[in-house]
């Protein structure tokens, strides 16, 4: 399938109004490229493989709209045939009308053609097998080489929504899980994502895992990754909801029943999570956290201590920090 991409250079303040206006003429599903910092709500949803802060916001935004192109070069908008010239004319008309009462910045338009792009699977070209210490992490579309036979292998397909284990924050958690998981471990994974931490805990010998996430896509991602690693799905229970704010989720997860709680999430979320999650932990239970950028280390350590937990270790990798603590017996 071929697509025409109409890319508009504008300003961040005009993103919503341009998207809404062009939606009315049949251009739907805008791709937004800007440098606006994440909101608190957006950060709350980023539970795995978190990236550091991006470049400073310069107020510029690029909005891209994709229009299907037939084999004979016709475009289709609202189910009707049109052409590039007509679409450009419509877009320019709408932008000029908007310019009369709001700042849309440059308002220039570029047109590109994209051909036969698999939007769902295109990201796979960036994910290849790699090692975390002696653990081989490998996607389903690659094979285990002969020299790697006999080593512990995690088969992981993160999909488009979740992390792969490549990020420092995930690796900090994995190393701590290797230290503390035992055959008796019941583990709670807050912000499960692709399920990498819970699945590895089961591979390390844990008895059972409960995972929570805000994104319903986590359920299918975990199911597929359990299957890829030949793990009994009955050992991994997924729940969708916010354990920090939803009493129903807290009740379903249970109280005083977890040997380990793992949370690879943002520092601000860990601050809110710590006084809540201590209620889910057994006496002597271990709290493994990461997702903490280095300048937030003190804030998280303070929150962990304020929740009544004893800090056992603070580990660093790159600009990221992991804090491991214990609930008093």
Annotated binding site for S-adenosyl-L-methionine: 170, 191, 213, 264
Quote the CA–CA distance of 273 and 286 in Å, as a whole number. 14
> Per the structure block, which two tokens stand in for 111?
């047109």
Q: How far from 103 is each of 11, 25, 108, CA to CA, in Å?
A: 8, 20, 13
Residue 41: which residues within 8 A CB-CB, separation 6 or more? none
Strand partners, 290: 264
Quote the CA–CA distance of 233 and 226 in Å, as a whole number. 6
Quote the CA–CA distance of 90 and 94 in Å, as a whole number. 6
Residues in binding site: 170, 191, 213, 264
Work out whether the CA dihedral 276, 281, 283, 287 comes out positive or negative.
negative
Residue 288: which residues within 8 A CB-CB, separation 6 or more? 173, 176, 177, 180, 260, 261, 262, 263, 322, 324
**In this structure, are residues 196 and 169 in contact, taking their beta carbons and an 8 Å threshold?**
no
Q: At what angle do helices 15-23 and 84-99 cross, to 10 degrees?
A: 130
């Amino acid at each position: 399938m071929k697509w025409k991409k109409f890319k508009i250079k504008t300003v961040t303040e005009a993103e919503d109004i341009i998207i809404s206006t062009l939606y009315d003429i049949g251009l739907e599903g805008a791709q937004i490229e800007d440098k606006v910092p994440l909101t608190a709500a957006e950060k709350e949803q980023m539970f795995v493989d978190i990236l550091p802060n991006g470049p400073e916001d310069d107020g510029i935004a690029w909005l891209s709209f994709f229009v299907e192109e037939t084999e004979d070069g016709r475009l289709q908008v609202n189910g009707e045939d049109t052409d590039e010239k007509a679409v450009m004319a419509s877009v320019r008309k709408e932008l000029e009308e908007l310019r009369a009462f709001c700042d849309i910045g440059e308002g220039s338009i570029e047109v590109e053609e994209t051909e036969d792009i698999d939007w769902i699977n295109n990201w796979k070209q960036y994910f290849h097998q790699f090692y975390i210490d002696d653990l081989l992490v490998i996607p389903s579309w690659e094979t285990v080489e002969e020299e790697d036979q006999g080593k512990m292998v995690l088969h992981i397909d993160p999909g488009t929504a979740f992390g792969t284990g490549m990020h420092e924050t995930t690796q900090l958690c994995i190393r701590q899980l290797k230290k503390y998981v035992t055959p008796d471990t019941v583990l709670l994974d807050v912000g499960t994502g692709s399920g990498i931490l819970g699945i590895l805990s089961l591979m390390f010998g844990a008895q059972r895992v409960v995972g929570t996430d805000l994104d319903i896509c986590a359920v299918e991602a975990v199911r597929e990754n359990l299957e890829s690693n030949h793990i009994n799905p009955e050992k991994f229970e997924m729940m969708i909801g916010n354990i920090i704010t939803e009493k129903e989720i807290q009740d379903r997860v249970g109280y005083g029943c977890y040997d380990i709680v793992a949370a690879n999430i943002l520092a601000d979320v860990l601050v809110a999570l710590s006084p809540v999650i201590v209620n889910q932990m057994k006496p002597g239970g271990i709290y493994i956290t990461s997702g903490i950028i280095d300048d937030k280390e003190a804030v998280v350590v303070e929150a962990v201590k304020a929740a009544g937990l004893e800090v056992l270790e603070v580990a660093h990798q790159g600009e990221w920090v992991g804090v491991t603590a214990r609930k008093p017996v």
